[in-house]
Amino acid sequence: MNERLSVLVVDDHPLFRFGVCTLLANEPRIDVVGEAANGAHAISAASALAPDVVVMDLHLPDISGAEATRHIVAERPGVGVLMLTMADESESVFSAMRAGARGYLLKDAEPDEIIRAVHAVARREAIFGPDIATRVLGFFNHTQPSTDTVFPELTVREREVLSLIAGGHSNTAIASTLCLSPKTVRNHISNVFSKLHVADRAEAIVRAREAGLGR
């Protein structure tokens, strides 16, 4: 597949925004289709340009990047939002992921890490920078609620499938682990997404890990 990814870059600092646009524009499989300096412009640009990926700063002059993400994802659930920010506190991370972001990197990330993350969120994968991943895992490991009490709307088998998804297992691995057919696994995953009102695997992972599953 030689399809090119269309990317919208959102940051209120012109020099940094220019740098990210230049970095991505030099990639043969990426087209930078637009840029925005605030949340309102980001929302309107995402609606008009329909990018595959939005690279979003968290701190914007009008509304937060998380709030802009929430609006963008509500209108276009398939878009991949990658947060690229200086904010490394846990609440900022969780706020962004709850809003619908699929990835979270700090602005000191290496250029190739940013490029990989753009492609990852376009594939509907969840991705964190190393420092953020450590912080997130530390938060999730602080407490672990009983898997019998979380997501009571799910069946036992659906919770097992969700836990394996949150642990990073592929559908094939889940089928092997639970001795199920791939079709049955897909059906369980579809039921999980429907019952939890999540759009994709990345959002399901965030919900599951917030509840203590997947370790």
Segment 187-191 shows an average pLDDT of 95
Q: What is the pLDDT of residue 186?
A: 94
**52-61: burial string, b at 16+ Cβ within 10 Å, e else:** bbbbbbbebe
Query: Does the pLDDT at position 213 exceed 90?
Result: no
Query: Does the pLDDT at position 133 exceed 50?
Result: yes
- For residue 34, tell me if it sits in a domain: yes
Q: What is the pLDDT of residue 215?
A: 56
CA angle 188, 194, 197 (to 5 degrees): 135
Q: What is the pLDDT of residue 143?
A: 47
Residues 132 and 181 in one domain: no
- For residue 122, tell me if it sits in a domain: yes
CA–CA separation, 132 and 127 (whole Å): 10
Overall number of domains in the chain = 2
Please give the model's pTM, rounded to 2 decimal places.
0.65
CA–CA separation, 133 and 93 (whole Å): 10
Segment 4-21 shows an average pLDDT of 97
Residues 29 and 118 in one domain: yes
Segment 33-42 shows an average pLDDT of 98
Q: What is the DSSP letter of 104?
A: E
What residues pair up with 53 in beta bridges, in sequence order? 7, 80
Q: Which of 68-72, 132-136, 199-203 has the highest mean pLDDT?
A: 68-72
Q: What is the pLDDT of residue 180?
A: 83
Residues 72 and 108 in one domain: yes
Residues 164 and 117 in one domain: no
Q: What is the pLDDT of residue 194?
A: 93
Segment 120-149 shows an average pLDDT of 69
Residues 180 and 104 in one domain: no
Residues 132 and 183 in one domain: no
For residue 204, give its domain range: 156-210
Contact 55, 69 (CB under 8 A): no
- For residue 117, tell me if it sits in a domain: yes
CA–CA separation, 90 and 115 (whole Å): 23
Last residue of a domain, one of 114, 139, 164: 139
Q: What is the pLDDT of residue 149?
A: 61
Q: Which amino acid is at 56?
A: M
Instruction: Identify the band that residue 2 occupies on the pLDDT scale cut at 50, 70 and 90.
Output: low
